[in-house]
Amino acid sequence: MEILVGGLSLWGADLDPVIQVDVLLATGFSVDYTAHVAYNYFRARGSPQERVYSSLAEMAMPMCEAGLSTFLCMLPLIFVPTYAIVCFAKTVFLVVAIGLLHGLFILPVVLALFSRNSIDEKDAPPPAAITFSADQPLVDKNLDAV
């Protein structure tokens, strides 16, 4: 978060209430990139390097596409002559850039260097299977149990 506030300061934004709200909104958005990589890493099997490779092979392209589409969607907002909208666009640009940097480079390096355990197929718990059938209701209408 300090990198975001520092980047906004370098970009000419003051720490006013508009920027504070933008930073609060960006907090949830910032964990998205690393969360996907971490989830796929801990779901994968093999050595730490194999798990990083598997995670990045599965998530790198969708993350780049998500970052690019977010940049493209926010680009017109830079040209709107309203302070709050421009600040929001700058905040989203920085959050996406920092999130992609962390998700594609920093987190995989940290996971590959500092994970000690390999996970083999025989050691792994079976994945939780969630099955639904067409005749199974999504909501139980029996409210007596409540």
DSSP character for 51? Answer: H
pTM: 0.71
CA neighbor of 121 nearest in space, from 51, 73, 67? 51
Report the distance separating Cα 59 and Cα 62, nearest Å: 6
Report the distance separating Cα 102 and Cα 30, nearest Å: 10
Question: From the CB of residue 49, how many other CB atoms can be counted at a distance below 10 Å?
Answer: 14
Q: Give 18's pLDDT tier (boundaries 50, 70, 90).
A: confident
Residue 68 has pLDDT above 90, yes or no: yes
pLDDT tens-place string over residues 92-123: 888 889 899 999 999 999 998 988 777 775 55
Report the distance separating Cα 88 and Cα 75, nearest Å: 11
Report the distance separating Cα 73 and Cα 121, nearest Å: 42
Q: Which helix (H) or strand (E) holds 48?
A: helix 48-74
Q: Give 127's pLDDT tier (boundaries 50, 70, 90).
A: low
Q: Give 25's pLDDT tier (boundaries 50, 70, 90).
A: confident
DSSP character for 77? Answer: G
pLDDT tens-place string over residues 70-98: 999 999 998 999 888 888 888 888 888 98
